[in-house]
Amino acid sequence: MSDSIVAVLCDQQCSSRGPLQAANLTKRLAKSSTVGKLIILDKACQDPEKKLKNVAGQKILFGGCPYLEESGFYSLAAEKLGLGPGEMLVTDVKSSILDLYDSPEAIEEKLVGRLESLGRLLADSTAVKDQPVKLKRNVLIFGSGYSGLKAALELSGEKLSVDVVETEDPPLAPGCLTEGLGSPGLIEELTERVRAGEHVAVFPHRQMGPIRNVEKGFTVSFGGGEPREYGTVIFAPERREAPAEEIGAWNLSQLYKRIQEHQPIKGRIVFVLDRRSEMPPEVIQDILTAARVIKERSHAEVWILLKQIRVALPGLQELYDLTREMGVIFVKYQNLRLHNEFGDFDIAGEDPQTGASFRISNPDRVIIPGAGGLSASALKAAETLGLRLLGGQYTQPYSLWRLANESNHPGVLVCGSARGNMDGDGVAADAASMVQALKARMNREGITPVEHIASVDADKCAYCLTCVRVCPYHAMGKNVEERVAQPITTACQGCGICAAECPAEAITLRNLSQDSVLAAMQAL
Amino acid sequence: MSDSILILHCAEGAKKALARMTEEGHRLPPQFKTFELPCTGSVNEVLLMENLQNGANGVVVLGCRKENCKHLDGNLKAERKVARVKRLLSEAGAEGKFVEMVFTAPDEGKRLHDILLGFAQQQQTEGKSK
């Protein structure tokens, strides 16, 4: 049998953790049809270079203790013998860690069974082998705000063709994009550079057709024209505050708009901060700047009620001192109560340090920052892209902060303020790290599909499209002419959910079919 | 395989939890066997029932914490299937604890060990399949 496996086993004399009794094993494995040649390495983890000289074969199954991996034996073996990822399988006593505590006979029996089942899997895997898929070197960006444009400009220097979609119509018109007050002029500068540049095209959102996963990335058509192919999509939507619940209260966006439009803000202005959650220092900076601007322009009486202030940003302490000198009143509060009775509006609370209570009667304007979230158009775009949303806030349940820029949909990267409040430098760093992730995806060698990729048996498929519905990655496409489901290999992540849900049992995972799983379980 | 308890664990958090459990020195009795799947979402009713039919005393599906599934909600899909198998078994009149869904985080070695031992304990007291 030319496809026979050469098994290399460590006899683990060095370790007391599960001795393998190599001599007995040799006898039993000699009967196994899948294993052609058996080599026993004595203390393989010691001086592996010398030991590997004795080993040669097309497909090799290594077996040993956890120390083999720790000592880099497997990677060294792959390098020395020129073995690719599909040509080397590793079974060791730790792949079922509980084996370590079995009796030597039990370990031996299991290992024989596992060798046979792995031999079958290996025979399967040699049948299907993928060439890497080269993705189109085009990038589509949703949103022409600061993060979107920053990413577009960084990428246009990387010889990628970059298109941007913007909901504001016409896009890139002066004043159509709002920005925080902390560092004005940032977006203006970027917009100028995009207008002057040649590599970035901006399309209005209304012209955009549906976005589809295809083998080489995504396709989108604009204005009913030919579909354009993209290798990856960057999602950089606007973050918009929910309106404040209390009647007559403004949220920060409403306040900033009025300041930017030079509308008069007079009388007694009360900011109520930290009411729902702690304020990030970036937002505090914007608020202090707004308070300073109000004080400069009018004789307003400005109160800032807050629970605590963190001066974690450079320059924030100076801004805080400056606003205090200008007469802004800072009050720490607890047990805050807002009364709105018969047209009289009162704010009452207590100072946690002195215990004294305070009351502000009939303020002219109350400003309560609302909870941040994605704007309606961003929600729509996220839906189109197949991103899951939780509470309208983040594009991935709980985890977007931790997983840097990767979304739950392969090829869709998330960037900018949709991931939380960030200042200008934060967004720039975010865009830079995303460019790194994008380069890894769009390297010139292409991307190789994952090992356990789904495949559909066309004869069994009933075209019920359950798989299309359950796939978390939108990696199952439809072949409308032949009425059969068709996996998109570059998007498939091999989780096996479709195979488990398919009522016709038409989907199998490559190298991990239901039969081989059951056989391997039997071998345990 | 007979008289064993099969642990079907995912290749992400649950695998790490099992490794952590061993690292911490909590050993499981030899009747526990483990099998790795890409995600617990790839478990279905057929797979669970076949294993019970083949002589496994019980099957524990071990997935990541509810909101931490790498594949979004594979563990919740598995939970639904386990619940369905439980219902089918009780409708068929099989008394006892045969299948269980367990959610675990990678750092919960001790807790996981307690849960698994508890499962084995219940198995012994409530009788076996077949």
Higher pLDDT, B45 or A157: B45
Give the Cα separation of A262 and A265 in Å (integer): 9
What is the rounded average pLDDT for all residues in chain A?
73
Higher pLDDT, B52 or A92: B52
Contact A501 B44 (CB under 8 A): yes
**A110 and A20 housed in the same domain:** yes
Residues A488, A483: Cα–Cα separation, whole Å: 16
Q: Do A408 and B54 touch (CB under 8 A)?
A: no
Angle of CA points A401, A406, A410, to nearest 5°: 150
* Residue A55, pLDDT score: 59
CA atoms of A193 and A209, how far apart (whole Å): 27
Q: Give the tens place of pLDDT for each residue, A39-80.
A: 656 566 666 666 666 555 555 656 655 556 666 777 777 777
Q: Are residues A401 and A471 in the same domain?
A: no
Question: Is B10 contained in some domain?
Answer: yes
Q: Is residue B124 part of a domain?
A: no
> pTM score, two decimals?
0.62
Residue A305's alpha-carbon distances to A112, A271, A339, A358, A368, in angstroms, are 71, 6, 16, 11, 10
DSSP B43-91: --HHHHHHHHHTT-SEEEEEEE-GGG-TTSSHHHHHHHHHHHHHHHHHH
Q: What is the pLDDT of residues A128-172, one digit of tens each?
A: 556 788 888 889 998 888 888 888 888 887 778 888 888 877 777
CB–CB contact A97 B22 (8 Å): yes
With bands split at pLDDT 50, 70 and 90, how would you rate the model's confidence at A345?
confident
Tally of CA atoms within 13 A in the half-sphere of A438 that contains its CB:
32
The dihedral of CA A29, A30, A33, A37: what is its sign? positive
Domain-embedded: residue A219: yes
Contact state of A399 with B68 under an 8 Å Cβ cutoff: yes
Rounded to whole angstroms, how far apart are CA atoms A205 and A222? Answer: 9
The token pair that represents A489 in the structure block:
């290999």
CATH of residue A143's domain is: 3.50.50.60
> Which of A262-276, A334-348, B102-116 shows the lowest mean pLDDT across its residues?
A334-348
Test A497 with B43 for CB contact under 8 angstroms. Answer: no
Percent of chain B with pLDDT over 90: 36
| B41 with A95: Cβ contact below 8 A | no
Is residue A448 a part of any domain in this protein?
Answer: no
* pLDDT for res A179: 58
If one counts every other C-beta atom within 10 angstroms of the C-beta of residue A35, the result is 21
Q: Does A106 touch chain B (CB under 8 A)?
A: yes
Does A398 contact B68 at a Cβ distance shorter than 8 Å? yes
pLDDT band, residue A277 (cuts 50/70/90): low
A472 and A435 in a common domain: no
Q: What average pLDDT does this structure show over A276-291?
A: 77
pLDDT digits 0-9 by tens, A190-209: 888 888 876 788 888 888 88
Contact: B38, A472; criterion CB under 8 Å = no
* A319 and A377 share one domain: no
ipTM: 0.89
Q: Last residue of a domain, which of A419, A441, A463?
A: A441
> Å from A521 to nearest chain B CA?
7
Side by side, the strands of the sheet bearing A334-341 are A334-341, A344-350, A357-361
Chain A residue nearest residue B56, CA to CA:
A522
In the sheet where A212-214 sits, what is the strand order?
A212-214, A217-220, A228-230
Q: Which residues of A touch B27 (CB under 8 A)?
A: 98, 101
B122 within some domain: no
Instruction: Provide the pairing of β-strand A239-241 with A249-250.
Output: unpaired
Instruction: Tell me: do A401 and A489 sit in the same domain.
Output: no
Q: What is the DSSP letter of A207?
A: G
Q: Residue A472: what residue type? A: P
Say yes or no: A390 and A347 in one domain: no
Strand partners, A39: A8
Do both A145 and A122 map to the same domain? no
| Residue A141 φ/ψ, nearest 5 degrees | -120, 130
- Among the candidates A370, A399, A432, a domain finishes at A370
Mean pLDDT for A99-126 is: 56
Dist. CA A473–CA A408, nearest whole Å? 7
Note the pLDDT of residue B114: 94
Which of A383-397, A404-418, B112-126 has the lowest average pLDDT?
A383-397
- Among A127, A150, A169, the domain boundary falls at A127
Between CA A395 and CA A405 the distance in angstroms is 11
The residue with greater pLDDT, A366 or A86, is: A366
Nearest of B57, B15, B33, B28 to residue B117 by alpha carbon: B28
User: Which residue reads 């497997």 in tokens?
Assistant: A74
Max avg pLDDT among A371-385, A509-523, B79-93: B79-93
Answer yes or no: is B123 within a domain.
Answer: no
Show the tokens assigned to A204.
């209005």
Residue A446 lies in a domain: no
Chain B residues touching residue A494 (CB < 8 angstroms): 38
- Alpha-helix residue ranges (DSSP H) falling in A91-221: 104-127, 146-156, 186-196
Q: Chain B residues with CB inside 8 Å of A497's CB?
A: 39, 41-42, 71, 74, 77
Q: Do residues A422 and A335 share a domain?
A: no
What CATH number is attached to the domain comprising B111? Answer: 3.40.1400
- Residues of chain B with Cβ-Cβ distance to A106 below 8 Å are 30
Q: Which residues on A lie below 8 Å from B43 (Cβ)?
A: 500
Looking at the domain assignment, is residue A201 inside a domain?
Answer: yes
Q: Which residues of B touch A109 (CB under 8 A)?
A: none
Side-chain-facing half-sphere of A162: CA atoms under 13 Å: 26
Whether residue B48 lies inside any domain: the answer is yes
pLDDT tops 50 at residue A375: yes
Does residue B70 sit at the A interface (CB-CB below 8 Å)?
A: yes
C-alpha–C-alpha distance, residues A287 and A255, integer Å: 10
Nearest CB to A388 within list B28, B36, B72:
B72
Predicted pLDDT of residue B12: 85
Q: Looking at the predicted structure, is the pLDDT value of residue B74 above 80?
A: yes
d(CA A182, CA A179): 9
**A268, A282 in Cβ contact below 8 A?**
no
CB contacts, 8 Å: B41 with chain A:
495-497, 500
Residue A389 phi/psi, 5-degree rounding, is -125, 145
Question: Is some CB atom of chain B closer than 8 A to the CB atom of A104?
Answer: no
What pLDDT does residue A63 have? 60
- The tens digit of pLDDT for each residue in A468-493 reads 988 888 888 888 899 999 998 888 88
Q: How far is A322 from chain B (nearest CA, A)?
A: 44
Q: Could you tell me the residue range of the domain that residue B53 belongs to?
A: 5-117
Pair A361, A286 in one domain: yes
Q: For residue A21, what pLDDT band results from cuts at 50, 70 and 90?
A: very low
Predicted confidence band of residue A498 (pLDDT cuts 50, 70, 90): very high
Q: Is position B82 within any domain?
A: yes
C-alpha dist (Å) from residue A200 to A79, A150, A217, B51: 42, 11, 19, 57
Q: Do B44 and A520 touch (CB under 8 A)?
A: no
A449 is a domain residue: no
Q: Do B38 and A95 touch (CB under 8 A)?
A: no
| Angle A278-A151-A144 from CA coordinates, rounded to 5° | 75
* Distance, CA of A475 to CA of A53 (rounded, Å): 43
Chain A: give the shortest CA distance to residue B42, in Å. Answer: 5
Mean pLDDT of A120-135: 62
Q: Which domain holds residue A470?
A: 454-522
- With respect to residue B109, please indicate whether it lies within any of the assigned structural domains: yes
The single-letter code of the amino acid at A469 is: R
User: Is residue A132 domain-resident?
Assistant: no
**Total domain count for chain B?**
1
Of residues A103, A399, A495, nearest to B41 (C-beta): A495
Residues 63-82 of chain A whose Cβ lies under 8 A from any Cβ of chain B: none
CATH number (domain holding residue A51):
3.40.50
Tens digit of each residue's pLDDT (9 = 90 or more) over A221-267: 888 888 889 988 888 877 666 665 555 678 777 787 788 778 888 88
Q: Residue with structure tokens 């404040």? A: A244
pLDDT in tens, B106-124: 888 899 999 999 999 888 8
Total number of domains constituting chain A: 4
pLDDT of residue A489: 85
Residue recorded with tokens 């109560």: A337
